[in-house]
Chain A
């Protein structure tokens, strides 16, 4: 096992930079730079020197001993001043020991996974947490990172294990004093787990959107005030977290943190028939993008006469604009009613996020669907009065699928459940 190191904070000027060294030689590497080390789990201020003895920086040295570290290995963290030159010099001194190499991206986390400090879902949670930009995302990622998926699997697994044990007991201990008719409990257990999975699956879309971000399309006829509104949204006191140039030059995106939800507003070409080839393409793209968005806001030009504009799209919220001219509706120019738009949008989107949904990655959805499929077959075999061995077969499939979310299935676990509950043995 090689010792690895990397800068754990962002590269560039900052107050403090953290360099992490992990692996069997981590302590030795640090010792070569700092002299002696503080005790396990402690820190100390040390001068870092290169091989020639020249001082590189004064740093806080933090020592962790396996397995009590993030990676589960011996680890040292060096908190240096956040200077580009200092970091470069310290990195060079570490590499010069010949005992450690530069870590590959994600390698510290991979080691944490291999050493069992994190399960697979926790790794996903950690990566979400690092990417989180809003409070909603942070809460979601934090829950996955702290083991919410493991809790879900353990809860459902306990019920399925109990169901499997009941069934297996009637098979393997037929001439023992085990309950003969286990059907009411087995049925209830299987259906309970199916319901729990359904809860996760129905919340999945919202949770996945919360993780990846919602899109809200602002549509309307040309000159209805769409860009004005977008500018107003961008200029308000909601944090703009990124401004991405549209994939097509006609679509403009503004990403904001809306009451904790990551929302990208899309400003697009006015929807109208046109002779202009270029505009036709823009309109077609706008329709496509708007249709795929999570929410569509239609802006009607408050000053327009005649019949209201027909966008040819399903619309979620409609507002009349140019209140500054007409005295009613909303105005991107003055900001009148924009708060209402934002809170309407936030309400609609928040309604799609179910509290307690852990399934937020496609991998989670697929495993849960596989489990559900197997449990449905078990339930069907059960209702049709098929053999216990057939029900057990499907239950085992379901357990394996759930376990793939974090771990693996084990026949000893089923037998353990049986022995804990029934008096087996003549």
Chain B
């Protein structure tokens, strides 16, 4: 049986798949999302939260490019908190607790509303390859879907194994079927694979928790949302509870370590350092007598609580014992035991910067299969893979964001250039251009670019255009208003009497000068929208650094512009060490700048590569 023909087929309906399908459809490709179970599209399989530091930046960027994660998070958010509120705006990260059911519904609604996008329920059993490139996918019922490009977002389904103590079972998430046949197909490509693990905590029944005695953490009074289109939360806001492990908890865990899958030697995969299991915490940080646990309700009407901070692979009876040793959880009922999951990932160094697999043209990989962790990291890759798959199907060149453009650029460059050694998560410290790549200006950085790629709808275009006009007008007002230090001092602002006239932006650049302080001098500030006023203040604060970073970025862009031909014969370059040559041949950097970021690269070797490129060019000329 043959279905109609699609430009792009996305396999998987997780966070990478949903974003990929939506982006591909927006970019003008006839797109199909194939998933085993339609109702599970957009499921949050780990903790019910979106955003955070670095991650919140990613969501803002996805939104600025017309993606859906930010909108879904805003529609389902039940506890919005801006992390690092008291630190500089560049390192503030929006975060929300989401209602699981509402989030899933929001994603499914957004996909349903998107023209050009079909959802097909079925198991993809195989990829159809013709002439060395993707030609379609074959479903388990042997029907075929012809296509030009495939985005594979199968998460932990590749040889996923679940561990609870010494019990083990095959599967991706609890209760899902693993895709063994597809895994065998990928094996045939002989891709470099690695093995990772991650863990989840036991889920608790909310009504069995003694909330009364617990410290409660409410959301922010003035919630910061994700989407540049959202204004206020859609649903009721709730608080999370906070409790702690204690000496008895640690005693129970220490006594049963040998029964943990991790410590019993059942798991070979590498886990993330930033999300250790409770066993890890007790062993590695033995001097700490207590660890914090956030009790996160999974939804407004849900009776399930996600205890964030005690993920584990201990057997069920030990889980019950240690949970009951914790204040407030003495009577807690475990609805689902915690488990560790081990899975294969494809070494992302095998991908090019468009997330396509050179070993099989037309196949794009996105999400956890590339060794990342987190919904946001997955969605960001999905967005770019979906966009690039669509562009390939339409005969257009790939779009690659640079490290100085976006956190998305940092993420993908880290993956394809350096690979991963543990599940990769975004941090603000990964971004060299952190002061420039802020959550607050993601739209200014990316929306116009995305619009040029056809990713932006009319509503967003209009809202963005209006905001840009207001910002430009506000900037002009501030730049044209100039004052002597004496005039400034008269308003009560402390300022050096150096005779230097300063304009409004320069005055706002002082760390302790706020728009309110300046209002007596520049009355127009009072008339500006608060959002615009705040944005200009942030711009002013970082102006000197952003200017400097943009000069640095200019130098980087020169190197980014030096394309390394795919066919460059590293073997013939004299002077390259064998180790570096091996890495270069494996990673095949696209530009000189990317080559420079390969682990162990030296300036001398870069010079050799550049010389070789020049020689080849001369020879051809």
Contact = CB atoms under 8 A, between A and B. Distances in A.
Interface of A: 1-2, 72, 110-111, 113-116, 168, 170-175, 177, 384-390, 392-393, 396, 408, 410-412, 414-415, 419, 423-426
Given A171-B91, A393-B434, A425-B272, A2 B574 contact: yes
B274 A171 contact: no
A408 B281 CA distance: 32
Contact of B577 (A72, A173, A425): A72
Given A171-B84, A419-B273, A393 B576 contact: no
Interface in B574-612: 574-577, 579, 599, 601-602, 604-605, 608
Contact of B88 (A1, A72, A387, A414): A387
A113 B608 CA distance: 13
Given A174-B87, A425-B275, A1 B575 contact: yes
A114 B273 contact: no
B435 interface: yes
Nearest to B199: A425
Nearest to A115: B577
B88 A426 contact: no
A168 B274 contact: no
Interface string B552-578: 000000000000000000000111110
B574 A389 contact: no
Contacts of B275: 425-426
Contacts of A393: 434-435, 545
A168 B575 CA distance: 38
A423 B435 contact: no
Contact of B284 (A114, A415, A423): A423
Contacts of A111: 575
Interface stretch (B60-68, B205-213, B325-333, B423-431): B423-431
A100 to B, nearest CB: 13
A124 to B, nearest CB: 14
A2 B54 CA distance: 47
Contacts of A171: 53, 84, 87, 91, 428-429
B541 to A, nearest CB: 9
B294 interface: yes
Interface stretch (B3-11, B285-293, B484-492): B285-293
Interface string B327-356: 000000000000000000000000000000
Nearest to A117: B577
B521 interface: no
B575 A177 contact: no
B534 to A, nearest CB: 16
A423 B575 contact: no
Contacts of A392: 429, 434
Contacts of A113: 604
Contact of B602 (A114, A174, A411, A423): A114
A118 to B, nearest CB: 11
Contacts of B291: 177, 423
Contacts of B604: 110, 113-114
Nearest to B90: A389
Nearest to A388: B87
Contacts of B576: 1, 114
Tell me which of B291, B292, B577 has the highest count of chain A C-beta atoms within 10 A of its own C-beta: B577
A146 B510 CA distance: 48
A426 B427 CA distance: 16
Contacts of A114: 575-577, 602, 604-605, 608
Contact of B83 (A2, A72, A175, A419): A175
A99 to B, nearest CB: 14
Given A390-B88, A393-B435, A426-B294, A174 B281 contact: no
A426 B429 contact: no
Tell me which of A115, A385, A423 has the highest count of chain B C-beta atoms within 10 A of its own C-beta: A423
